[in-house]
Chains A and B, each alone.
Chain A
Amino acid sequence: MTDSLEQQKPVNIKAQLKNCRSKEETFKTLVTLSKTQPRLCAEDKTEDNKVKGCESAVWLIIVEKDGLRHFKADSDAKLMRGVLVAILSLVEGKTLADIQQMDLRAELAELNLSSYLTSSRNNGVLAILKKVKS
């Protein structure tokens, strides 16, 4: 558990989620991953940074540097923070053009996160994916 609190490498994150064999394991992994993400400070949690359409509050900040996109994100729900860690591990440090080429829904499905893409949580995560690509 000790290393879980440090920033994890994307490959690690992917492997951990891919290896989950039940919804319960995915849940626990997301809880663990949620702790690896630094929280946003209050000033960053503005209305502008909020992703509309999520059932929980989600803030996503995109910074472009030398043509590469860097992300910071937070949510008041723990699982959503875990899902954000997973999403950002797929897109962090890439160019916008590269990100736009990606089939993020398929990649998240491979990480056993498709149920976070369906049901009523659907719109929330889809709104995040849209913002990541915008």
Chain B
Amino acid sequence: MAFDPSSLRHLFPILAQSAYDHPLTYLDNAATTQKPLPVLDAIQDYYRNFNANVHRGAHFLSDRATNRFEQAREIVASFINAPEQSHVIWTKGATEAINTVAFGLEHILESGDEILITSLEHHANLVPWQQLAFRTGARLRILPLTSNGEWEPEFSHYFTDRTRIFAATQISNAIGASTPLQTMLDHAKQQGAFTLVDGAQAVAHYPVDVQTLNCDFYVFSGHKMYGPTGIGVLYGKSHALEVLMPYQTGGEMVRHVSYQATEFNVLPYRLEAGTPHIEGVIGLATACDFLNAQDRLALLAWEQSLAAHAYARLHKEGSIEIYSPEKNTTLVSLSVPNIHLLDLNTYLDSQGVAVRAGSHCAHPLMAQLGVAGTLRASFACYNTMEEANRFCDVLLDAIDLLNDE
């Protein structure tokens, strides 16, 4: 039986409002998803009933907070099938997680070493590596898409014996395409490179198994998977996390400090300086519980059917260029020649349809596609077929209004 979004939409009361007298149609889920009531309640519950700093005070509230905090680590670890909870490091998001690795690995790089990324990367998985290359004399190399948007059939030569780090996104935020991740990771492993997977766009849609992927690091943000903002995860294999020099130092991450020296704490604390984002951690674990309680594959199939439906309707219009795949993606990314994206966006907004127009933090990819940006409608489990149709209807109206002919 097909998934029915009304089975969970009531958990997202924010969606029930209107925007300028139109029903709010929220299709900017790749930027951030809405949060279900259990997540909101968990955050309230923390502040109302057990707010205290963790790992510090030996008192009633602190014990409760610490227990829930460490329980959250277990929940998140099992959500991505990490073998041990100490492999889960809290960060403020995917961006901070990537920076933690990029700074932490600086000491292993030598001039002439190579850092390999793909041409689908978000700036968050590009700029930290580029800056790392500048600092160390390493070379940033790009595994490109070909001009027709495919991967080269034979890309193994990009992985060389100088490749020390390979970092790739699982799914492109800008065009919704997936990378042939497993093959790439295998090539990288054969060369002995450290591997990092940017799962920011994947976790909300796909069940993730870091052990099957067999990557050294996996990063994501809570706010793109129905959790709060300001919390994210750096998963790492223990030997890989051990290699990282702490990117931030201070309280919590130390075992003993004197004026002469500091002995760092064990993992995961060694990489978590300062008071953590406790309510974020608790909210994120609740978001994992929310997703675990769903039939994940049914949700994914639904989200993909919405995107495929929009694709099919818009593809028929000769005037629209679509950059996202026809199938197996949860978003549509497009442009309309001779019409400015901001004009389209403003009309959609005037009708209550929330999408994203711009370069999606992927300037090099936009340059390769030959556009300044795209208009992206990205779907989540609570979106309905009416909303997918409304997006298409309003977009086509906008094109009519804005066309000069």
Identify the A interface with B (CB < 8 A): 22-24, 26-28, 31, 55-56, 76-80, 121
Contact = CB atoms under 8 A, between A and B. Distances in A.
A42 B377 CA distance: 34
Nearest to A75: B340
Interface residues of B, number: 14
Nearest to A119: B349
A56 B402 contact: no
B342 A77 contact: yes
B71 interface: no
A31 B350 contact: no
A76 B338 CA distance: 9
B347 A27 contact: yes
Contacts of A55: 342, 358
B340 A78 contact: yes
Nearest to B401: A31
**Which 8 residue pairs across A and B have the least CB separation, nearest first?**
A23-B350, A77-B340, A23-B20, A24-B350, A77-B342, A78-B343, A27-B350, A79-B343
Contacts of A23: 20, 349-350
A56 B347 contact: no
A24 B340 contact: no
A91 to B, nearest CB: 23
A80 B351 CA distance: 18
Contact of B343 (A24, A26, A77): A77
Residue among A27, A31, A56, A121 having the largest count of chain B Cβ atoms under 10 Å = A27
Residue among B20, B339, B343 having the largest count of chain A Cβ atoms under 10 Å = B343
Residue among B342, B401, B402 having the largest count of chain A Cβ atoms under 10 Å = B342
Given A22-B350, A23-B350, A27-B350, A121 B342 contact: yes
B21 interface: yes
B319 to A, nearest CB: 15
A56 B340 contact: yes
Interface of B: 20-21, 339-340, 342-343, 346-347, 349-351, 358, 401-402
Contacts of B347: 24, 27
Nearest to A31: B401
A116 to B, nearest CB: 8
A76 B371 CA distance: 14
Contact of B21 (A22, A28, A79): A22
A22 B349 CA distance: 12
A121 B341 CA distance: 13
11 contacts: A22-B20, A24-B20, A27-B401, A31-B401, A55-B358, A56-B342, A77-B340, A77-B343, A78-B343, A79-B342, A121-B342
A28 B401 contact: yes
A111 to B, nearest CB: 16
Contacts of B21: 22
Contacts of B358: 55
Nearest to B347: A27
B349 A76 contact: no
Given A23-B20, A27-B350, A55-B342, 14 more contacts: A22-B21, A22-B350, A23-B350, A24-B351, A27-B401, A28-B401, A76-B340, A77-B340, A77-B342, A77-B343, A78-B340, A79-B340, A79-B342, A79-B343
A79 B340 CA distance: 9
A113 B32 CA distance: 27
B346 A27 contact: yes
Nearest to B19: A23
Contacts of B340: 56, 76-80
Contacts of A121: 342
Nearest to B357: A55
A80 B346 CA distance: 11
Nearest to B358: A55
A85 to B, nearest CB: 15
B343 to A, nearest CB: 5
Nearest to A77: B340
Nearest to A28: B401
Given A22-B21, A24-B351, A56-B340, A79 B401 contact: no
B399 to A, nearest CB: 12
B69 to A, nearest CB: 35
A31 B342 contact: no
Contacts of B401: 27-28, 31
B339 to A, nearest CB: 8
B28 to A, nearest CB: 13
Given A23-B20, A56-B340, A78 B402 contact: yes
Contacts of A78: 339-340, 343, 402
Nearest to A76: B340
Contacts of A76: 340
A79 B349 CA distance: 13
Contacts of B339: 78
Contacts of B20: 22-24
A57 to B, nearest CB: 9
